[in-house]
Structure 1
Amino acid sequence: MDEVVLFNPGDSIGNFHDYHEAVQTAQIYQERHDNSGHVLVVKNEHGEPSFDIFLAEQQLTNSTEPSTTKRYTVSKKL
């Protein structure tokens, strides 16, 4: 079963059309920012499929869902 999470798209570290490029960038980001916590590569299914990178701590709950929040499916957790 897929894990669905909520994020504000404006908090994205990066947006990629290639999954492997997104994972590589997330790994580099995590290496350079030791205290960043978990980095998530998520699949954006709104429109053309793409992959975004977010910090796990930026995840929103259903109760704090503003109108700018979008649902994403977690592809990889680093």
Structure 2
Amino acid sequence: MNEMVLFNPGDSIGNFHDYNEAVRTAQIYQERHTESGHVLVVKSEGGVPSFDIFIADQQLKDPKEPSTTRRYTISKEL
């Protein structure tokens, strides 16, 4: 999956440097919050690789303030 998405970094459920830890945390979050829909593990674009967890509904389709958004690549969708 190589889809670029935009999110506000402040909406992140968690930030991790280890991909497997991010996936485990996302799975636990989804089990406890079944009403929140799809949970995404996304890779941050930039220097040091890091992985954030977002709820898919928080994706910004047309951001009004680009300074508050960041580009991510979807790594795993749960």
TM-score above 0.5, yes or no: yes
Counterpart in the other structure of 2:76: 76
Counterpart in the other structure of 2:18: 18
Counterpart in the other structure of 1:46: 46
Runs of 4+ off more than 3 Å: none
TM-score, L = length of structure 2: 0.93
Contact 2:43 2:50 in 1 (8 A): yes
Instruction: Name the amino acid aligned to 1:64.
Output: P
Question: Which ranges of structure 2 fall in alignment gaps of 5 or more residues?
Answer: none
Question: Which ranges of structure 1 fall in alignment gaps of 5 or more residues?
Answer: none
TM-score, L = length of structure 1: 0.93
C-alpha RMSD of the superposition: 1.1
Rounded Cα–Cα distance in structure 1 between residues aligned with 2:33 and 2:70: 25
Rounded Cα–Cα distance in structure 1 between residues aligned with 2:71 and 2:59: 10
Counterpart in the other structure of 2:63: 64
How much does 1:65 deviate? 4.3
